[in-house]
Amino acid sequence: MRLGAQVRAGPDLLEAIATAEAIGAAAVQVFLQSSRAWKLPAHRPEALAAYREAAARRPGGLPTFCHAPYLINLASPDPELCARSRASLAANLVEAAAIGAAGLVVHPGSHLGTGFEARLGQVAGALVEAVETTGGGCPILLENTAGAGGTIGRSLDELARIIEAADGHPDLGICLDTQHLWAAGIPFGTVEEADALVHQLDQTVGLDRLGCLHVNDSAVGFGAGRDRHANLGEGDIGLERLGSLLGHPALDGLAAVLEVPGAGHGPRAQDLATLDQVHRAGVDRWSGLAWRAAVAEAEGGGRTGARRER
């Protein structure tokens, strides 16, 4: 698993690489523009190329994910807002592809009370339009939501239906956020629950479409329906529950990106160290279960029940 963090990109984007080195991140996520503004990203082509080349020169590379602005609402019933959202998505996708990003994470938006079914085709059409008009080159990763109001993407089924409505376009995938899962009332705190979630993901969206993880503790309780991140170990989820999911063998090799507040300015080296400890503990837990299952089978005891058959 590539352990990473949301970092500032800076005017020339290279600040992201320097920060990654300083805090020990093996992957990063950046905003290519202000996260809460409509002004489109406008980096010089030389800056985009310089970032791509600098990231590639790092030993093992530096998987980079971009996050689209929060203002984007592909489900809006307001034609003007929808048009601005499509333009913003396309502009961010162009620059994400130019820096060699592994994915552009986007929140699908909110139907604002009009209903999921009424806006499903609109969201799917906007995603396909963005990929086809820009030439693609970077997957769009739909992020699950915490479930507030009319937000779209609060369940794996909703995310799967969006991709299905887009005719299963190969450039569409998902990003799973642990805090959003928790706030939406989706459990993963034991190995059994984590395995059930991964199985459901495989059966709905497909594991091959999971592009990355956002790893955050939750400042609100299970099922609270609010997007409120907390530092690992300082929220309602806790380190052990997070480890149950991060240690799942099917998630090995993914980028796991912290979006925690740190001391107020984003993830720190100590937050990456905590993430590493959580991941290692989770892997050890799953390895122990696999070892006990093998011993039980060799002794004729059958399955332990820790994992369901696929």
Residue 207 pLDDT exceeds 90: yes
Q: Percentage of residues in the chain with pLDDT exceeding 70?
A: 93
Average pLDDT over residues 23-31: 98
Helices 45-57, 79-98: crossing angle, 10 deg rounding: 50
What pLDDT is stored for residue 295 in this prediction? 57
What pLDDT is stored for residue 212 in this prediction? 98
What the block records as the tokens of 181 is 């899962």
Q: What is the pLDDT of residues 34-89, one digit of tens each?
A: 998 999 999 999 999 999 999 999 999 999 999 999 999 999 999 999 999 999 99
How is the chain split into domains, by residue range? 2-298
Q: What is the pLDDT of residues 254-264, one digit of tens each?
A: 999 999 999 99
What pLDDT is stored for residue 310 in this prediction? 28
Please, what is the end-to-end C-alpha distance for the chain in angstroms?
22
Q: What is the pLDDT of residues 151-189, one digit of tens each?
A: 999 999 999 999 999 999 999 999 999 999 999 999 999
What pLDDT is stored for residue 293 in this prediction? 67
User: 290 near 248, Cβ under 8 Å?
Assistant: no
Residue 2 pLDDT exceeds 70: yes
Q: Rounded to two decimals, what is the model's pTM?
A: 0.93
Residue 118 pLDDT exceeds 50: yes
- H runs (alpha helix) in the chain: 15-23, 45-57, 79-98, 116-134, 156-165, 178-183, 191-204, 239-246, 269-298
**Collapsed DSSP state (helix, strand, coil) of residue 49:** helix
Looking at domain 2-298, its CATH superfamily turns out to be Divalent-metal-dependent TIM barrel enzymes (3.20.20.150)
What pLDDT is stored for residue 297 in this prediction? 66
